[in-house]
Structure 1
Amino acid sequence: MRHICYHLMLLCSILFTSYSFASLKDVKIDLVIVNKSSSSMKVMHQGKILKTYRIAMGDVPKGHKLTEGDQRTPQGRYILDYKKADSAFYRSFHISYPNDEDKLRAKALGISPGGFIMIHGENPQSALPPLEAQKYNWTNGCIAVTNKEMDELWQIIEPGTPIEIWP
C-alpha cells in the first residue's frame, strides 16, 4: 500500500510541475506578489500561484521606501506600467512607485519619494554567477531576477499587471 501511495504522490508531483510550467506559456499573469521577508516573487493567474522566483532587493530591504537613495524597496500596491527592453540591467518592468499615498507621505516629511523602481535582470558588472548573486540584496531599491527568469517573465507579464509588495 505504501508503495502505491508513494507512486501516486510522485505522479501528482510530476503532473503538477508539468502543468505549472506548461501554463506559464499559455497564460498571462494577472497579479505579481513580492514578499520581501522571504525574498520571493510569485506570479499568479486567477488566484493560483504559477511560479515563485528568488529575488534580490535594495541593500536595506526592511521597511517601506521613503526617499530617494534610501536603498529600500517600496511596499504597497502598484502597477507594472511599462516594459523597458534596453535597461542597464538587461530588461525591466517599471513599477508605478510612487503612488498617491507615497507622494503624500513624502510631501508631509518634506522629502522626495524617489522613483524609477523596476523589476529587472542581472547586474552586468557582477563577478558572481547569476544564482549566487540572487542570494544578496544589491539593488538601489529595485527587484532583481536572473536574465533567464526575466526572459520568462517578459513573455507572461503585460503592462497594466498589478503588483503587491509585502513586508
Structure 2
Amino acid sequence: MASLNRRHFSLAGLAALAACGAPTPQTPTFKVYSGPPVTQVVVQKGQRRMHLLNGTTVLKSYDFGLGFQPVGHKQFEGDGKTPEGLYFVDRFNPRSRYHLSVGVSYPNERDRAFAEQFGRDPGGDIMIHGRGPEGNRLVRQKQDWTAGCITVSDEEIEDIYAMLQPGVPIMIYA
C-alpha cells in the first residue's frame, strides 16, 4: 500500500513538472510604463503634434493623422472632423481593429446639445488609435483618413496605451 501511495505521489509530481513546460494559450502582451504619470494630453491639430505631459513637462510627443476633414470642430456623425476642446480618456480597447485604441469622451453635453438643435447625431466613438492593417494601406495614400479619430503608428499607440489612465484630460486645439 505504501508503495502504491509513493508511486501515485511520484506520478503526480511528474505530471506537475510536465505541465510547467506545456505551452500556454497566447495572451496579448502589453507594454508597461513606470515613469511619471501623464496628467494631461495636448493635441495641436494644426501642427499635427500630440504631447503627453506630467504637469508642464513633456514626457513624449507624437505626430499624427486626423479625420478626413481635419479643419474645424466635429459637429455631426460622418463629418470627418476631429473634435476640439476639453475631453477625457474614457476607455481602452485592446482588441481594436486599429491595433489598440484609447477612447476620447466625445461627445460631451455641449456637443450633444448642438447637434440636437439641428436634429442630427453628434457622432461618437472618437479614439486615439494605431493604424492596423487598413490604416497602414490608407496612410500611404494620405495623412488624414479616419472618421474623426487621431491616429499614430502601431508602435506609438502601444506606448500611449501604457502611459494613459482613465480620466486624464485631453485638450484638443485647432
The Cα shift of 1:125 comes to: 2.1
* Closer, same or farther: CA 152–134 of 1 in aligned 2, 3 Å: farther
Q: Distance in 1 between matches of 2:153 and 2:159?
A: 10
Gaps of 5+ in 1: 1-23
Structure 1 residue aligned with 2:82, among 73, 76, 88? 73
Contact 2:48–2:65 (CA<8 Å) still a contact in 1? yes
* Closer, same or farther: CA 127–50 of 1 in aligned 2, 3 Å: closer
How many residue pairs align between the two structures?
A: 142
Contact 2:98–2:134 (CA<8 Å) still a contact in 1? no
1:55 partnered with 2:64: yes
1:161 partnered with 2:168: yes
Equivalent residue, structure 2, for 1:109 = 118
Q: Distance in 2 between matches of 1:25 and 1:137?
A: 32
Q: Distance in 2 between matches of 1:94 and 1:126?
A: 18
Matches within 5 A, 1:114-129: 114-126=123-135, 128=137
Q: Distance in 2 between matches of 1:127 and 1:158?
A: 26
* Closer, same or farther: CA 29–127 of 1 in aligned 2, 3 Å: closer
Matches within 5 A, 1:22-61: 25-61=34-70
Q: Distance in 2 between matches of 1:154 and 1:116?
A: 16
What's the secondary structure of 2:51's corresponding residue? Answer: strand
Structure 2 residue aligned with 1:152, among 156, 159, 164? 159
* Closer, same or farther: CA 95–26 of 1 in aligned 2, 3 Å: same
Runs of 4+ in 1 over 6 A off after TM superposition: none
* Closer, same or farther: CA 151–134 of 1 in aligned 2, 3 Å: farther
The Cα shift of 1:123 comes to: 3.6
Contact 1:71–1:140 (CA<8 Å) still a contact in 2? yes
Share of identical aligned residues, percent? Answer: 37
Equivalent residue, structure 1, for 2:19 = none
Q: Distance in 1 between matches of 2:82 and 2:135?
A: 20
TM-score by length of 1: 0.79
Gaps of 5+ in 2: 1-32
Q: Distance in 1 between matches of 2:124 and 2:135?
A: 23
* Closer, same or farther: CA 90–82 of 1 in aligned 2, 3 Å: same
The Cα shift of 1:134 comes to: 10
